[in-house]
Amino acid sequence: MSLIQRLLFTGLLFIPLTVSAKESTTWDFRNKMVPGDWSVMQTLTTEETEKGLHIKSSGESGRIYRQAALAHDADTAVLTFSDTLPQELRFSWRPSFAAADQFVEYPFVLTGFKETETVVIPLRIFKEWEGNANIIGLTFPGNVDVTLQDIQFHRYSLLEKFLAVVRSSLEFDNMRNYSINFLWGPLMVFTPDEIPGIFLGTPPRAWSVLRFAFPLLGLVSILCFIWWLKSYLQYKDYRKTGSKMLRVFAGVFVVLWLLFDLRMGLELLSYVKDDFQNYVLKPTGQKTFREFLSFHDVVAQSKHILMRQPRYVFLGPSDTLFSYLRYETYPSLPALTTEQTANTSILLVFKRPDVQVNERGTVIQNGKIIAYSGAVLARFDNESFLYQLR
Amino acid sequence: MSLVWLPVGLVLPTIIGWLALRLIEGKVSVLFPVERFVLGGLIGLTATMFVTFILHLTLGVSFTLIGFGLVQVGMLALLYVWSRGMPMPARIRPSIPRTAMTRWATIFVGILAAWTSVKMIVLTVNLLVTPTVLDDTIDNWNLRGKLFYHNKELTLLLPFEEGNTSFSGISSYPPTVSMAKAYLSTLAGGWHDGLANSIHIAWFIALVLLLYWSLRRELPMLWALLGTYILTAMPLEMLHGTNPYAEVFVSVHVFAAVSYFFHALRADDKDRRIRFFRVSAAVTCLLPFTKNEGLIMHLPVLMLLVGSSLLWLLWKKKMSLREIVSVALWYIIPLLAVAIPWIAFKYMNGLSFGNAKSVSGLTLAWQPGVALAISVMTFMEGNWLFLFPLLLLLLLVHWRAILGSPLLVLLLYVAIIYLGQLFLFFFTELSIEARMQTGYNRGLIQLLPIIVLLTTLLLHRMRRLFQANI
């Protein structure tokens, strides 16, 4: 067989990979539709709405489920929810080998406060997932208030999976506070659905690319050794071969090193690109910084007022922001509640939908008045403002 | 504009350190001119902060422009008076290995140098223009610096804390990093995040240059550049070097102390050996005043190795008993001058001796999950590229050569500290630092320059295998 014939033959082998493309099934709950025959446990109440199936419970756990009856195997399930609140749910399925009341459950969290929120379940990574299932559903561990928009099941071809591996290994993490302790490095997933959220889990549900790099180096070293051994056993110039094989191994190692360096270096530079795009080059009022959203922008605009008094009240979503304010406005210091400091007249509220000011200038938190009268000095968004008591 | 106060603020400490090194070297010059300048800046800043700390506690010298200035001018005057009575060494260029670089090697190294420079510059600019957000920076290094700056005095309490010391254990850390930030802000007349953070870049550049000159003393320029590239190519090292954390600050002191000790053992004549020992001693004495690990982890191991090496040199008749005693005193006297006041201060204020967490109350029990976490962090993440597999491979190939050479002290230093840390992670509740990936890699950052020095020297030996016919 000539070289051209060999190449043609090899090329033919790849044809099935390219013709066998993605297959999808969608269960769409929008426009008051319910796809298929669903069972709902009594602890739950459901309502068909334009935005999807609205599911509620009052404290007790419950499950909705149906016969899977998928026409194809699935690699991922992609669930989309509308108008989300923070809560934990579980994707559930019953494998063919399980008893009638046994479900495998995959917990996931909705971060909440989004118009639509999508969750990707990488089904293939579970040994209990057989490509398909008898029953598929959702389990709700406790209080739940959620609108399920649709569930999609995707199956990808080998070529699509290969491309997903390549693309995902070039995906970069964002600079986060944990990055000073470790960098996940190049990760790979096997479906395009998983790529956008590849770094979201801790630890991520993905493989390190180094799982392939080390075996590759091992394989190269074994091949080099075999080559050297062959020349040794054949009484050829095995010394020269040994030196040559060392160079081959070193060459592969250097190439992998440089690729890894390039990949990680670009990730570090991408942190700077993000910071410049979102913070440094943005005008005041539009700046966001890493996972802190607009917090630093808000503080920069409020700092001169906050620092007029030794104490001010800060109502925010986390302690980390409190530590930051303590540092940023020192010697003026924040307090977490109005009770902590009697002499303050300044209140900074950041990303607190539960704290609102009414038309009379009264600040109300979950129905409780925390400041009777005053004025909003600056409003940054619907959930963030700077307020002065009268 | 405030950044201009960084070079201004480093002038006096650098002259002080430079002058001190000149005096320490005596008649025999062992440092390269640039190296002396860089090392002078490093030890000058740490030493002036230490003296300011002592005079603050004893004489009430405040953290003001006058306070910082008086200390530095006073130290400079003392060194000047001392140096007048002593003959300055002739300008002797230490011998350096030279080999011609091929065109391709020059291009290759040039590309790597350009790539590394781009990363360093871009990340540095980012540090200077973005908010300070990292946890230990806003809870410790910068916060304490800001407290010192505003209050003009040392304080062991953080805002909202009561009693004598911080309940978080943060006041047990030496105040050097925070004092340096307060000093620069005092010069600038205001607290600026960019200026306060810029000092970390200075420490990182000092580390890179000291590694280069350390390698250059042993290897041709190409190899020295290659070693410097290896250090800066480590993603986590680059991130630490360009962020306001204290690990690089510790590591540059540790590296200087250990590398000059190594060069002392490598030195071909007695005079040079003694000078290298003295330079190493000058940095070693500052280790207790860097971070808690400097006192409880790095110092004991270094002193153990220095002591053993001195005995070995005596046994091999490479140094006389008198010279050995002289070198030992060079280590011991300055060290006691720094360590005794600092330890006394810690005892008097009930400060712990661990890394924020006290090591005295630890209980011993096997901690599951640590082995997996450590192997993932060392080999399967993006922190260290392929450095550790490379090092293991080199150790396997060259173990015999290491045993009979001063490389052994580099290996022992790294091994003892690394295994000591592993012991703490595997058998104490500090295991959480490994499992949560918060402490293990930082320990490696402190050792990394020494690991890279060792790796590059072994890699250079490896080239002989490529040339020889096996």
What CA–CA distance (Å, rounded) separates B302 from B232? Answer: 25
Of chain A residues 187-246, which have a CB less than 8 A from chain B?
208, 210-211, 213-214, 217, 228, 238-240, 242-243, 246
**B113 touching A, CB under 8 A?**
no
Query: What are the backbone dihedrals phi and psi of residue A148, each rounded to the nearest 5 degrees, phi first?
Result: -90, 120
Please compute the mean of the pLDDT values over residues B203-212 and round it to a whole number.
Answer: 98
In this complex, do B469 and A243 lie within 8 Å of one another by their Cβ atoms? yes
According to the model, what pLDDT value does residue A361 have? Answer: 86
SS3 (DSSP) at A250: helix
pLDDT tens for B165-188 read 666 678 889 999 999 999 999 999
Of chain B residues 376-405, which have a CB less than 8 A from chain A?
376-377, 379-383, 385-386, 389-390
Q: Are B72 and B12 in contact (CB under 8 A)?
A: yes
SS3 (DSSP) at A194: helix
Residues of A in contact with B159 (CB under 8 A): 326, 330, 333
Q: Give the H/E segment covering residue B321.
A: helix B321-348
Q: Give the H/E segment covering residue B75.
A: helix B65-84
State how far the alpha carbon of A2 is from the alpha carbons of A5, A6, B331, in Å.
5, 6, 74
Q: Are A124 and A164 in contact (CB under 8 A)?
A: no
Q: Are A308 and A193 in contact (CB under 8 A)?
A: no
Return the amino acid letter for B225.
L
What CA–CA distance (Å, rounded) separates A208 from A16? Answer: 28
User: How far off is chain B from A30, nearest CA to CA, in Å?
Assistant: 42
- Residues 6 or more apart whose CB falls under 8 angstroms from that of A215 comprise none
According to the model, what pLDDT value does residue B63 have? Answer: 97
What CA–CA distance (Å, rounded) separates B328 from A270? Answer: 50
Judging by beta carbons within 10 Å of its beta carbon (0-12, 13-18, 19+), is residue B438 exposed, middle or buried?
middle
Q: What is the dihedral of CA B156, B162, B168, B172, to 10 degrees?
A: 20
pLDDT tens for B111-150 read 999 999 999 999 999 999 999 999 999 999 999 999 999 9
Q: Give the H/E segment covering residue A209.
A: none
In this complex, do A327 and B142 lie within 8 Å of one another by their Cβ atoms? yes
According to the model, what pLDDT value does residue B133 have? Answer: 93
State how far the alpha carbon of B267 is from the alpha carbons of A188, A190, B207, in Å.
49, 56, 22
> CB pairs below 8 Å between A and B: how many?
138
Q: What is the mean pLDDT of each run of 10 residues along chain A (390 residues)?
A: 55 54 91 92 91 88 90 94 88 90 89 86 90 92 89 95 95 94 96 92 89 94 92 80 88 96 98 97 95 94 93 85 92 77 80 88 86 89 90
Find the closest chain A residue to B141 by CA distance. Answer: A327
According to the model, what pLDDT value does residue A6 have? Answer: 59
Mean pLDDT of chain B: 92
What CA–CA distance (Å, rounded) separates B323 from A187? Answer: 56
DSSP B253-288: HHHHHHHHHHHHHH-SSHHHHHHHHHHHHHHHTTGG
According to the model, what pLDDT value does residue A344 have? Answer: 74
Strands A384-389 and A346-349: antiparallel
- Residues 6 or more apart whose CB falls under 8 angstroms from that of A358 comprise A364
- Smallest Cβ–Cβ distance between B130 and the set A178, A250, A280 belongs to A280
Please state the separation of Cα B55 from the chain's center in Å.
24
Q: Which of A166, A208, A150, A217 is nearest to A183 (CA)?
A: A208
User: How far off is chain A from B441, nearest CA to CA, in Å?
Assistant: 6
Query: What are the backbone dihedrals phi and psi of residue A91, each rounded to the nearest 5 degrees, phi first?
Result: -85, 130
Q: Which of B2, B3, B47 is nearest to B21 (CA)?
A: B47
Find the closest chain A residue to B235 by CA distance. Answer: A264
> Token digits for A240?
């020269």
Q: Which residue would you say has higher pLDDT here, A112 or B248?
A: B248
According to the model, what pLDDT value does residue A13 have? Answer: 55
Return the amino acid letter for B464.
R
> Token digits for A31?
């426009």
In this complex, do B238 and A185 lie within 8 Å of one another by their Cβ atoms? no
In this complex, do A239 and B469 lie within 8 Å of one another by their Cβ atoms? yes
Q: Is the pLDDT reported for residue B1 higher than 80?
A: no
| Mutation for testing the B interface, residue in A171, A173, A180 having most B CBs under 10 Å | A180
SS3 (DSSP) at B300: helix
Range with top average pLDDT, A341-345, B309-313, B435-439:
B309-313
Q: Are B330 and B23 in contact (CB under 8 A)?
A: no
What CA–CA distance (Å, rounded) separates B257 from B276? Answer: 10
How many C-alpha atoms does A86 have within 13 Å on its Cβ side? 1
Residues of B in contact with A333 (CB under 8 A): 159-160
Find the closest chain A residue to B373 by CA distance. Answer: A203
**B144 touching A, CB under 8 A?**
no
What CA–CA distance (Å, rounded) separates B327 from B284? Answer: 13
CB atoms within 10 A of CB A169: 20
> Token digits for B305?
């190795």
In this complex, do B466 and A247 lie within 8 Å of one another by their Cβ atoms? yes
- Residues 6 or more apart whose CB falls under 8 angstroms from that of A89 comprise A107, A108, A109, A110, A138, A139, A140, A141, A144, A146
What CA–CA distance (Å, rounded) separates A284 from A297? Answer: 7
What CA–CA distance (Å, rounded) separates A182 from A53? Answer: 41
User: How far off is chain A from B268, nearest CA to CA, in Å?
Assistant: 33
According to the model, what pLDDT value does residue B470 have? Answer: 45
- Smallest Cβ–Cβ distance between B243 and the set A180, A238, A239 belongs to A180
In this complex, do A327 and B240 lie within 8 Å of one another by their Cβ atoms? no
**A377 touching B, CB under 8 A?**
no
- Smallest Cβ–Cβ distance between A180 and the set B134, B465, B470 belongs to B134
**A352 touching B, CB under 8 A?**
no
Q: Are B199 and B179 in contact (CB under 8 A)?
A: no
- Smallest Cβ–Cβ distance between B134 and the set A177, A246, A261 belongs to A177
Helices (H), B285-320: 292-293, 299-315
**B464 touching A, CB under 8 A?**
no
Find the closest chain B residue to A300 by CA distance. Answer: B131
Q: Are A64 and A138 in contact (CB under 8 A)?
A: yes
Q: What is the dihedral of CA A101, A103, A107, A108, to 10 degrees?
A: -100
SS3 (DSSP) at A142: coil
Please compute the mean of the pLDDT values over residues B184-212 and round it to a whole number.
Answer: 97
Query: What are the backbone dihedrals phi and psi of residue B154, each rounded to the nearest 5 degrees, phi first?
Result: -75, 135
ipTM reported for the complex, 2 dp: 0.93
Residues of B in contact with A296 (CB under 8 A): 131, 133
In this complex, do B160 and A323 lie within 8 Å of one another by their Cβ atoms? no
CB atoms within 10 A of CB A379: 13
Of chain A residues 322-351, which have a CB less than 8 A from chain B?
323-324, 326-328, 330-331, 333
What CA–CA distance (Å, rounded) separates A255 from A268? Answer: 20
According to the model, what pLDDT value does residue B99 have? Answer: 72
Return the amino acid letter for B55.
L
- Smallest Cβ–Cβ distance between B469 and the set A210, A240, A267 belongs to A240
Q: Is the pLDDT reported for residue B262 higher than 60?
A: yes
pTM of the model: 0.91
